[in-house]
Amino acid sequence: MSQEPDPLPESLPESLEEAIAFDSNGLVPAIARQHDSGEILMMAWMNRESLAATLASGQVTYWSRSRKSLWRKGERSGQTQVLKRLLIDCDGDTLLLEVDQAGVACHTGRRSCFYRALEGEALVEVLPVTADPTQLYGGGVPSGGS
């Protein structure tokens, strides 16, 4: 017998609604950082609905621009993010999510999406693949996000 998911809250707390400067598409960039190490993991987009879902459940939920739908981080891969703290920058136009990342954050199988560094004039991969994306996604590796 399946259980119905809890309904999403209708709106954000007033203090957040006033503080966040959503763009003309109703989106705001969100940077995910590992809460205990400070490691930058990824950047994705959030809208009011995804932010409300994140706050209600504690499981980070983003807005997929390509699928035009909510995307709970790790829903396919099992590589979830639990929100520990939400910070808003001085202009209100970027969020910083301090999270507890289970496994890898990048759909390429790396811990972080920021795995390429400019060294001289060349881009060099500085993080190894630590999880096989075909194992995480059952052969259907997404072009972005998990």
Whichever domain contains 95, its CATH number is 3.10.20.810
**135, pLDDT greater than 70:** yes
What is the total count of domains within the chain? Answer: 1
Angstrom distance (rounded) from CA 73 to CA 76? 8
123 is a domain residue: no
Structural domain includes residue 117: no
Q: Is residue 19 part of a domain?
A: yes
pLDDT higher than 90, residue 11: no
Tell how far CA 70 is from the center of its chain. Answer: 11
Establish if 3 belongs to a structural domain. no
Average pLDDT over residues 38-57: 98
Q: What angle do CA 113, 17, 22 make, to 5 degrees?
A: 50
User: Is 43 a domain residue?
Assistant: yes
pLDDT of amino acid 89: 98
Q: Who's near 43: CB < 8 A, 6+ residues apart?
A: 29, 30, 31, 32, 113
